[in-house]
Amino acid sequence: MKKNNFPLIFEQLKIKRSLSVRLLAYILLCSSSLAIIITLVQLTWDFKQDVNKIEESIAQIESSFLQPIAASLWNLDEEQIQIQLEGIMQLSDMQYVSVHEVLGQSAIPLIELGEKKNKFDIQNTFDLVYQNETIGRLFIAASLNKVYDRLIAKSVLILVTQTIKTMLVSICILLIIYYMVIRHINKIALYTRNIHLTTHQNELQLDGRTSEILR
């Protein structure tokens, strides 16, 4: 008896595995695609927010630092200029700042702080005006390197958490669908595969059902 039932049991397990694996694959594919889209949207939003912070810092420099630096440059107070530039370097993602003194047609470097490069991600130059006369120039530059580093760290965290969440939700959904639907489909499929028109066939009784009978 056990030997005769072995092919039947093997066929049943094969059907269950096939349906479950395909369903789990579809759930994971949809969930993963949605997680990736959400991650990209979140990272894009965070990048714009970080760039806005840098732009706000530049606006703050223009409104709060230009006149004091111009006054210090007029008085040739290099110590005070140094302190003011150090204050600028404390702002969000500032990489380099310098003050040039304008003498005729020439701009002579006076003080510089930070890392100087041939090309900066974000940069701006402001004229230092005192008593309606341009006496110098303030150059500022910001780097996006820290912004990218923060985005990479955040993307890894989001992807890890989303992957774990996706796996858990997918397994829960699969278990629910299996209990509600697949186990009945498996039984019906197995039943129909073993129907013999010339012999008597036992009635199909679904688990947990009393009225669903397939003859």
Q: Which H or E run includes 65?
A: none
211 or 44: which leads in pLDDT: 44
26 or 156: which leads in pLDDT: 156
Whether residue 124 contacts residue 65, with contact meaning beta carbons closer than 8 Å, is answered with no
Confidence of residue 161 (pLDDT cuts 50, 70, 90): confident
How many domains is the chain partitioned into structurally?
A: 2
Confidence (pTM):
0.64
Helix (H, G, I), strand (E, B) or coil at 128: strand
Confidence of residue 48 (pLDDT cuts 50, 70, 90): very high
Query: What mean pLDDT is predicted for residues 47-69?
Result: 91
Of 143, 177, 205, which residue is a domain's last?
143
Residue 70 pLDDT greater than 80, yes or no: yes
Of 114, 143, 172, which residue is a domain's last?
143
In whole angstroms, what is the distance from residue 73 CA to residue 89 CA? 18
Residue 99 carries which side chain, given as an amino acid letter? Answer: V
Same domain, 126 and 161: no
Residue 113 pLDDT greater than 90, yes or no: yes
Same domain, 65 and 99: yes
**Range with the poorest average pLDDT among 73-82, 156-165, 192-201:** 192-201
Query: What mean pLDDT is predicted for residues 67-80?
Result: 92
DSSP per-residue letters across 68-118: HHHHHHHTT-HHHHHHHHHHHHTSTTEEEEEEEEEETTEEEEEEEEE---S
Confidence of residue 205 (pLDDT cuts 50, 70, 90): low
